Amino acid sequence: MVAETLSLAGKTALVTGSGRENGIGAAIARAFARNGASVAIHYVSENSKARAEKVAADIGREFGTKTTVVQGPVEKYGTGKRMVEQILQALDVDHIDILVNNAGFGGNVSLMEATPEQLEREFGVNTFGSIYLTQAVVGAGKMPKGGRIINTGSIASKLGLEISAVYSAAKAAQDSLTASWAGELGQSRGITVNTLAPGPIVTDLSKGFLEAADGSQTALQSAMFAQTRSEARLGTVEDMADAALLLASEKSRWITAQWISVSGGITGTM
């Protein structure tokens, strides 16, 4: 008897926001490549170019799978279609099987401090970006039956945290899109759509929320740590990557429209 696996051999994946070696996106891309998928690494600013290229090169060298690197602001309409066309050409494929909408942005901003620029940036990256990239991958990327869309959410969307109200609201909007798209794309195209919502994981994006300038725990990290029901630790990027691998595999074919907390058991009240 041959053991069952989570193989992604022959699949092509785009993981947005995957150009930082210590980030969730890079870990997910590595997990996919480790299991046979070709992966497209995405970054936004020129400052991240070298890091993204290194992520892609390291993945290709370690796992022997095809990689490519694409750049662009996901919140800008048209970026997604351009990136998809580049990926298809670079990897010599005619479709994309897996999309992970992982690119995200958030800041500490109170109600009275929120500006139009802040609102546009956070909703643009977290919400509009997911819309534009999904349109591009399903359309120009010709995502086939059995395709997988995974939105990287946040437990913040369920916690009502004062410190990140705008970010939480943008992620809550993304949660709603997950449920709606699952019905639209599932029945018509056979594509599953799910959200993976990480708890506290120290990355470039979350560090300001979880660590003080002196390296000590913030009040938020202490509160999250106290609510963790699993091990007495923070989450890791590998925790998210393994969950994404399951959702990307054939084994998840009957899992869709789900908001899945990858947090060691932290649950919200909404």
Q: How far apart are CA 102 and CA 16, in angstroms?
A: 5
**Helix, strand, coil fractions of the chain, as percent rounded to 5:** 45, 15, 40
Biggest CA pair distance of the chain: 63
Tally: H helices and E strands in the chain: 10, 7
> Which region, left, alpha or beta, applies to residue 72 given φ > 0 means left and ψ of -120 to 50 means alpha?
left
Helix 49-63 and helix 24-34, axial crossing angle in degrees, nearest 10? 20
269, 157 Cβ separation under 8 angstroms: no
Q: Report the length, in residues, of the chain.
A: 270
> Which region, left, alpha or beta, applies to residue 244 given φ > 0 means left and ψ of -120 to 50 means alpha?
alpha
The catalytic position among 43, 77, 132, 167 is 167
Q: How far apart are CA 25 and CA 103, in angstroms?
A: 8
Q: In what order do the strands lie in the sheet with 98-101?
A: 67-71, 38-43, 12-15, 98-101, 148-152, 192-198, 259-262
Which long-range CB contacts under 8 A does 93-96 form with residues at least 24 apart? 93/12, 93/38, 94/142, 95/12, 95/141, 95/142, 95/143, 95/144, 96/12, 96/13, 96/14, 96/40, 96/137, 96/141, 96/142, 96/143, 96/147
* Residue 132 is a catalytic residue: no
Q: List, by residue number, the catalytic residues.
A: 167
